[in-house]
Amino acid sequence: MARTTGSDGGRTEAATREAALSLIARQGYEAVSMRQLAGEVGVQAAALYRYFPTKEDLLFTLMREHMEGLQQAWEAARPAAPDPAARLSAFVENHIRFHVARRHSTHVSNMELRSLSKDRLSQILRLRGSYEKELRQILREGAEAGLFIVDDVGMTAMAIIQMITGVIVWFRPDERLSVEEVAETYLSMTRRLVGADDAREKRNVRPHAEFRAG
Amino acid sequence: MARTTGSDGGRTEAATREAALSLIARQGYEAVSMRQLAGEVGVQAAALYRYFPTKEDLLFTLMREHMEGLQQAWEAARPAAPDPAARLSAFVENHIRFHVARRHSTHVSNMELRSLSKDRLSQILRLRGSYEKELRQILREGAEAGLFIVDDVGMTAMAIIQMITGVIVWFRPDERLSVEEVAETYLSMTRRLVGADDAREKRNVRPHAEFRAG
């Protein structure tokens, strides 16, 4: 469905997404009705059904856009250089920034998978899988280059993603820490977790040796 | 409410807890009715109300018992020795074992907090806080003894807890890895995350110096 932002229809659709993310994050998908959502947006329920024929269409759209947005943000943030340490830093920082700015959307994406139909669940899981594959690739290359210590690529990727996504559970941007400080601390933890500072010393590998000429 | 396991009432109450955990984990608290739950247990809804006067009483009981069980498991697993590294190992291993054995209960405890009344939410968060404090204490003592590298005790505790709880999202006991192998890999990651192997070398601190005589 094309978005016609600026038109009344575009505004209704955008307002519906916003209101749906906030309501579902706070009350849960099952507890939110299209009627209640329409009330929140200030339109008749019939107006919502024009954009989202079913409540599940709406949920699926929210989740798909979340994952597509994350993938796009990562593609924009991904460094051109192939250095695994620089790519790991960019991955962690982008992931934290993206999710902290989209707490409701993250909650909905993580908590409401069970409400998707089987086919749509597969589509969302495929998007997730392809995003997570980027991190696995970074870890694998870092380990092969002797820059990282990675016992199990899959488990390490899951551990890092769950740790850095978890920021949204406790972090509030208006409190004692800025998102930059939080990202920096999590990056230090991630670098230690993959032995980024020690692998080199211990294995006596020259920094980024394989990427430099000479 | 005293549990009278062995009596019919005790069996009904226990079956209700089990069925409720499974249904709520799969469908979400809002989507599950007491009538549906009674059907699952094979009793009249009135029989459930004897044990759990409201659906929220049931949810609160499940969450309280989860946290109390976790605290008890940790008290049984906590090493007598004050060595922070040994306590960290025991904490990670106990946490993973406990949650892997209680996937439904963990899902319910993590995902349905929003459905508790304010007062009961506070009670559950207090129990969580006191459990998490144990980990913060271990990290603080490890850092003070020069055994761990901890940039921020609170953030490190959250990062570790989210990482190790996340095991239940992907781990299935019947697949390629045993819970022992998973716990061991996560423990290695945790030890690196807190610099447990490097802090000593780097700071030239004798192992557990402060806990040994002479």
Q: What is the pLDDT of residue A207?
A: 44
B144 and B172, same domain (yes or no): yes
The rounded mean pLDDT for chain A is: 89
A108 and A46, same domain (yes or no): no
A20 and A118, same domain (yes or no): no
CB-based contact (8 Å) between B180 and chain A? no
CATH number, domain containing residue A132: 1.10.357.10
Cβ atoms within 10 Å of B73's Cβ, excluding its own? 17
Q: What is the pLDDT of residue A172?
A: 84
- Cβ pair A188, B151 in contact under 8 A: yes
Q: What is the pLDDT of residue B202?
A: 53
Are A189 and B158 in contact (CB < 8 Å)? no
Query: Which of A30, A166, A185 is closest, CB to CB, to B30?
Result: A30
Q: Classify residue A99: in a domain, yes or no.
A: yes
A63 and A127, same domain (yes or no): yes
B132 and B197, same domain (yes or no): yes
CB-based contact (8 Å) between B30 and chain A? yes
A61 and A109, same domain (yes or no): yes
Q: What is the pLDDT of residue B52?
A: 94
Minimal Cα–Cα distance from A4 to chain B, Å? 34
Find the distance separating the first CA and the last CA of chain A, reported in whole Å.
Answer: 53
Q: Which of A189, A190, A191, A198 is best to mutate for the B interface (most B CBs within 10 A)? A: A189
Are B30 and A26 in contact (CB < 8 Å)? no
Are B195 and A192 in contact (CB < 8 Å)? yes
Are A114 and B26 in contact (CB < 8 Å)? yes
B23 and B59, same domain (yes or no): no
Domain stops at, among A53, A68, A94: A53
Residues within 8 A of A (CB atoms), B 100-139 only:
111, 114-115
Measured between CA atoms, the residue of chain A closest to residue B202 is A198
Q: Residue A81 — pLDDT band, cuts 50, 70, 90?
A: confident
Q: Classify residue A213: in a domain, yes or no.
A: no
Q: Classify residue A212: in a domain, yes or no.
A: no
State how far Cα B4 lies from the chain centre.
25
Are A27 and B114 in contact (CB < 8 Å)? yes
A184 and A112, same domain (yes or no): yes
A149 CB burial (10 A radius; 0-12, 13-18, 19+): buried
Q: Residue A36 — pLDDT band, cuts 50, 70, 90?
A: very high
Is pLDDT above 70 for A200? no
Which DSSP state fits A206?
P
Q: Classify residue B120: in a domain, yes or no.
A: yes
Kindly report, residue by residue over A86-115, the tens digit of the pLDDT: 999 999 999 999 999 999 999 999 989 989
Is pLDDT above 60 for A206? no
A47 and A61, same domain (yes or no): no
Domain stops at, among A53, A68, A93: A53
Contacts of A156 in chain B (CB under 8 A): 189
Q: Classify residue B59: in a domain, yes or no.
A: yes
Minimal Cα–Cα distance from B83 to chain A, Å? 21
CA B115, CA B34: separation in Å to the nearest integer? 15
* Tokens describing residue B130: 């006191």
Q: What is the mean pLDDT of residues A71-77?
A: 98
CB-based contact (8 Å) between A39 and chain B? no
Q: What is the pLDDT of residue A212?
A: 37
Q: What is the pLDDT of residue A74?
A: 98
Could you list the mean pLDDT of each consecutive 10-residue stretch along chain B, which spans 214 residues?
Answer: 57 91 91 93 91 95 97 96 94 97 94 93 97 98 96 97 94 85 96 83 46 36
Domain stops at, among A14, A30, A53: A53
Q: Structurally, how many domains does chain B consist of?
A: 2
CATH number, domain containing residue B2: 1.10.10.60
CA B7, CA B2: separation in Å to the nearest integer? 12
Residue A148 or A202, more confident: A148
What percentage of residues in chain A have a pLDDT greater than 70?
A: 89
A93 and A159, same domain (yes or no): yes
Minimal Cα–Cα distance from A87 to chain B, Å? 19
How many CB pairs (< 8 A) connect A and B?
83
Q: Which residues, 6+ apart, have CB-to-CB distance to B191 below 8 Å? A: B85, B88, B89, B197
B187 and B166, same domain (yes or no): yes
Minimal Cα–Cα distance from A56 to chain B, Å? 14
Q: Residue A202 — pLDDT band, cuts 50, 70, 90?
A: low
Is pLDDT above 70 for A20? yes
Kindly report, residue by residue over A159-181, the tens digit of the pLDDT: 999 999 999 998 987 778 899 99
ipTM: 0.87
Q: Supply the range of the domain harboring residue B103.
A: 55-204
Query: Which of B152, B162, B198 is closest, CB to CB, to A163?
Result: B162
Q: Which residues pair with B5 in a beta bridge?
A: B7
3-state secondary structure chain B: CCCCECEHHHHHHHHHHHHHHHHHHHHCHHHCCHHHHHHHHCCCHHHHHHHCCCHHHHHHHHHHHHHHHHHHHHHHHCCCCCCHHHHHHHHHHHHHHHHHCCHHHHHHHHHCHHHCCHHHHHHHHHHHHHHHHHHHHHHHHHHHCCCCCCCCHHHHHHHHHHHHHCHHHHCCCCCCCCHHHHHHHHHHHHHHHCCCCHHHHHHCCCCCHHHCCC
Q: Classify residue A60: in a domain, yes or no.
A: yes
